[in-house]
Chains A and B, each alone.
Chain A
């Protein structure tokens, strides 16, 4: 047993933290403040190797200021969500309705995609179809090149993150300016968003001050939110005003009208769409809803689930190009049709990217979104990411206690925790779990299916092996004691007690046990 053995994580330890403080026991110790705490980064991505989420999570937990802030911020969002829920009597019916609408749309996706395209074309929109990320990126850059456009302002879009669009654009001479504040911070820091709704929620104000000082030349010692926001606005606005093209994502696409709907709190979708004459929309094919009237159901659920506010500040409908301008919609598959064919996992396509599952997830709140090393983080990420790359994301479905809170907060009723369990089975069957784990489970299965072997494996107080049963700790080291004390090993097991007290047939002491029945017995 190794309670006192320092465990060295594979990645770098946070600056200034002694090695022994990087494991869980150390994380509970508040380190003395020594200037601003450095922001923990995501996992080191090694080609061909699964993401080491727990290593990155441990480094996040070893940064006490970040951990406390992150946990509390997101828990506050969860509580605000609960308050909004209590204000709506028909909340559970709304969730069911939203789920039903999405299920219906997804099961008739071909029909609604065709209807959407027809109506969008009639509205004067140019419609493009992208099979994968590469096609999406090329289509967007080609549209820009054909018009001599070089600078693109864009609002937040998880799809463009999924497609690695910013990198591709940079390589092809297109400058991308994010207009969502959080996303802009992440762009300036050259870091992926950690959360689908609040992309820089893992950063302290001091982290933002450091990023802005480095990239915008602001005062590194001024972490005042007003100052930072103003500096960002002053430096970004000229870039926005001189842009040649604008891009938005899409929260909902209405088949019957051919219009797209974007929900923001900063109005930056309108800014991105309307500043130039060229508006490009990137949308995943699962964003469709059949009718405009369906939208009300989702608008009522989205922001309440996401941020605990009744509605986003802006719900912007884009139906066609501005006078003299152009509007393009790029419909992206990128694995979605494959996912639609996965019997156990296709309902993950119902997701409206509200992030409620992240806010409620106790693992996410303590490990930070970057730790997942993927575009989609938190519980929904655990079930979507492996559809993109089963090997790379094979560890993610294990970053969960499967407590089920994510499923309960999901506004479209995705059975997230059951799909996490489903992925574990798929990964295990496809040799995507570590061999030691698989062997351990084989051994456990052999021991636990044999009463004789099971009895022999149990620890006894008078044995030298005062540790957990072998089927639990059959491992190179017992990890239990790093952050916890061992349970007390009793003098005898229940089994032994029963045999002694009641005999093997159970008749020995029956009815004359240590607790005689008393009057008023309910029987």
Chain B
């Protein structure tokens, strides 16, 4: 199985450790993982702003970089949701639809494709609050949603439940958006920061030592808010915990 690793632009620039953990984690399962060198971004900043035409060339580049792989895996539900559901500026050739269908967010790849049943190397003796990115939750359905009346499940909790010593804590509004919202975080900074600060306070009240998520974008925003409010919880990407990081 040949896997193409997509490292989103903000992970590349601000959280390289998340890319490293994802790469190493996938390699632990004996996968042949490539990092195509010419990759940039999924085009979400433009699409999110309504500028689909401006996103086309970036989407073309993505398809060109990744069409040869059996699976494309990224540590970001938001970017994967963009590829799978919003890659519409392009002509929908066979190559394009194939790339869209085989692009997976890390948690769903581990849970649904690899069907991982153990992370023997992983131990995280901390109280952890889980944050699900809205695109991963309501776009990719990595967990059941509080608004809907259907069976409860959580793919990230299933995976984190296999980590020794990890203790979950619940926050009061688990499904509430943290306010990152891509370009929203810059264009509507007032509401965005306020939502992030409320989220960070909710996490602090829960007694969480760490907050984890399958999306670094939400974590980057929440961490910035928590630091501003001088709250003590730390932020760590799920790939790092699953790859054996202990703190």
Given known A490-B14, A494-B20, contact A399–B188 (CB-CB < 8 A)? yes
Beyond the given pairs A367-B191, A487-B15, 17 more chain A to chain B contacts, judged by CB atoms under 8 angstroms and listed by A's residue number, are: A85-B149, A360-B147, A399-B191, A402-B181, A404-B137, A408-B145, A437-B49, A469-B9, A469-B13, A471-B45, A479-B189, A480-B224, A484-B221, A487-B14, A494-B7, A517-B28, A522-B29
Among the stretches A126-134, A336-344, A497-505, the one at the interface with B is A497-505
Q: Is A5 an interface residue (CB 8 A)?
A: no
In the bound assembly, the distance between CA atoms of A23 and B81 in angstroms comes to 32
| A441, chain B: closest CB distance, angstroms | 4
Contact assessment for A401 and B180 in the assembled complex, using a CB-CB cutoff below 8 Å: yes
* B61 proximity list for chain A (CB < 8 A): 448-449, 451
A57 touches B190 (CB 8 A): yes
| A27 within 8 Å of B (CB atoms) | yes
Does chain B have a CB within 8 A of A324?
no
Q: Judging by beta carbons under 8 Å apart, are B134 and A401 in contact?
A: yes
CA distance A490 to B15 in the complex (A): 7
> Is A149 an interface position by the 8 A CB rule?
no
| Contact between A54 and B190, CB atoms less than 8 A apart | yes
Q: Pick the interface stretch among A229-237, A270-278, A421-429.
A: A421-429
Please give the number of chain B residues whose Cβ is less than 8 angstroms from any Cβ of chain A in the complex: 93
Q: B138 and A437: CB pair below 8 A?
A: no
A403 to B182 CA separation, bound complex (whole angstroms): 11
Closest chain A residue, CB of each to CB of B188: A54
Q: Give the CA-CA distance A484 to B222 in the complex, in Å.
A: 8
Name the contact of B40 in the complex, choosing from A24, A85, A451, A486 (C-beta under 8 A).
A451
Task: Report chain A residues within 8 Å CB of B150.
Answer: 92
Whether B191 lies near A493 (C-beta < 8 A) is: no
Q: A444-B46, A449-B58 are in contact. Are A506 and B35 (CB under 8 A)?
A: yes
Contact partner of A504 among B17, B37, B114, B227, CB < 8 A?
A: B37
Q: Which residue of B lies closest to A405 (CB)?
A: B147
- Cβ–Cβ contact B138 & A405, under 8 A: yes
Given known contacts A92-B149, A437-B49, A493-B13, is B58 in contact with A28 (CB within 8 Å)?
no
Q: Which of A448, A493, A517 has the most CB of B within 10 A?
A: A448
The answer, yes or no, to whether A398 is at the interface (CB within 8 Å) is yes
Q: Are A75 and B173 in contact, with the CB atoms below 8 A?
A: yes
Interface size on A, residues (CB 8 A): 98
| A6 interface residue per 8 A CB criterion | no
One of B91-99, B100-108, B116-124 contacting the partner: B116-124
- Do B58 and A438 touch across chains, with their CB atoms under 8 A apart? no
Contact B12 A458 (CB under 8 A): yes
Residue B156 interfacial (CB < 8 Å): no
Q: What are 7 A-B contacts with C-beta separation under 8 Å?
A: A409-B147, A425-B52, A428-B52, A449-B60, A454-B41, A479-B187, A522-B114
Decide if B24 touches A513 in the complex (CB within 8 Å).
Answer: yes
Cα A399 to Cα B20 with chains together (Å): 35
Chain A residues near B188 (CB-CB < 8 A) = 54, 363, 398-399
Q: In the complex, what's the smallest C-beta–C-beta distance from A98 to chain B, in angstroms?
A: 14
User: Cβ of A32 < 8 Å from any Cβ of B?
Assistant: no
Instruction: Identify which of B163-171, B192-200, B204-212 touches chain A.
Output: B192-200
Q: Which of B7, B20, B50, B134 has the most chain A CB within a 10 Å cutoff?
A: B50
Q: Is B77 an interface residue (CB 8 A)?
A: no
B184: interface (CB < 8 Å): yes
**B-side contacts of A442, CB under 8 Å:** 51, 54
B31: A residues at CB distance < 8 A: 523
Whether a CB of chain B sits under 8 angstroms from the CB of A50 is no
Taking a contact as CB atoms closer than 8 A, the residue among B17, B39, B54, B147 that contacts A408 in the complex is: B147
Given that A25-B228, A424-B50 are contacting pairs, would A483 and B145 also be in contact in the complex, using a CB cutoff of 8 Å? Answer: no
Which A residues lie within 8 Å of B9 (CB)? 448, 454, 469
Mark each residue of chain A from 502 to 523: 1 if its CB lies under 8 Å from any CB of chain B, else 0. Answer: 1010100011011101111111
B228 and A483 form a contact (CB under 8 A):
yes
Residue ranges of A at the interface with B (Cβ–Cβ < 8 Å) = 23-25, 27-28, 54, 57-58, 61, 71, 75, 82, 85-86, 88-89, 91-92, 360, 362-363, 366-367, 397-405, 407-409, 417, 421, 423-429, 433, 437-438, 441-442, 444-446, 448-451, 454, 458-459, 469, 471-473, 475, 479-480, 482-490, 492-499, 502, 504, 506, 510-511, 513-515, 517-523
Q: Name the B residues within 8 Å of A499 (CB-CB).
A: 37
**Given A444-B54, A502-B35, A521-B120: A82 in contact with B146 (beta carbons within 8 A):** yes
**Least CB distance, B203 to chain A, in whole angstroms:** 15
Instruction: Report the 7 A-B pairs with minimum CB-CB distance, sorted nearest first.
Output: A483-B193, A424-B50, A401-B181, A484-B224, A449-B57, A428-B50, A408-B147
CB contact under 8 A between A445 and B121, given known A363-B191, A493-B13: no
Do A404 and B190 touch across chains, with their CB atoms under 8 A apart? no
Is the beta-carbon distance between A445 and B57 smaller than 8 angstroms?
A: yes
B13/A24 in contact, CB under 8 A: no
Q: Do residues A441 and B28 form an inter-chain contact, with CB atoms below 8 A?
A: no
Minimal beta-carbon separation of B133 from chain A (angstroms)? 9
Residues of B within 8 A of A450 (CB): 40
Is chain A's binding surface mostly helix, strand, loop or mixed?
Answer: helix
Interchain nearest-CB distance for B198 vs A (Å)? 8
Contact assessment for A25 and B138 in the assembled complex, using a CB-CB cutoff below 8 Å: no
| Chain B residues with CB under 8 A of A403 | 134, 138, 177, 181
CA distance A223 to B147 in the complex (A): 35
Partner of B28, one of A58, A404, A454, A515: A515
In the assembly, what is the distance between CA of A448 and CA of B55, in Å?
A: 9
- The answer on a CB contact under 8 Å between B41 and A489 is no
What is the CB-to-nearest-CB distance from B37 to chain A, in angstroms, rounded to a whole number? 6
Give the CA-CA distance A214 to B70 in the complex, in Å.
71
> Which residues 127-173 of B have a CB within 8 angstroms of A?
134, 137-139, 145-150, 173
Alpha-carbon distance between A498 and B38 when the two chains are bound, in angstroms: 13
Contact bitstring B219-244, A, C-beta under 8 A = 1, else 0: 01101110111000000000000011
Nearest Cβ in chain B — how far from A124, in angstroms?
Answer: 43
Residue of B nearest to A460 (CB): B13
Q: How far is the CA of A86 from the CA of B188 in the complex (A)?
A: 35
Q: Which residue of A lies closest to B37 (CB)?
A: A504
User: Could you say which residues of chain B place their CB within 8 Å of the CB of A479?
Assistant: 186-187, 189
- Flag if B117 contacts A437 (CB, 8 Å): no
Residues of B within 8 A of A449 (CB): 40, 57-58, 60-61
Contacts of B30 in A (CB 8 A): 517, 521, 523
Given A54-B188, A511-B27, A523-B30 in contact, is the A27-B194 Cβ separation under 8 Å? yes
Q: A362 is contacted by which of B16, B50, B148, B195 (Cβ under 8 Å)? A: B195
Give every chain A residue within 8 A of B67 (Cβ-Cβ). Answer: none
A409 to B138, CA, bound (A): 12
CB <8 Å contact, A483 and B225: yes
Please name the residue on chain A nearest to B133 by beta carbon: A403
In the assembled complex, the CB of B242 is this many whole angstroms from the nearest CB of chain A, namely: 11
A92 to B23, CA, bound (A): 40
Query: What residues of B have a CB within 8 angstroms of the CB of A433 in the complex?
Result: 49-51
Which of B12, B48, B116, B185 lies at the interface centre, i.e. has the most chain A CB atoms within 10 A of its CB? B12
B191 near A404: Cβ-Cβ < 8 Å: no
B176 within 8 A of A: yes
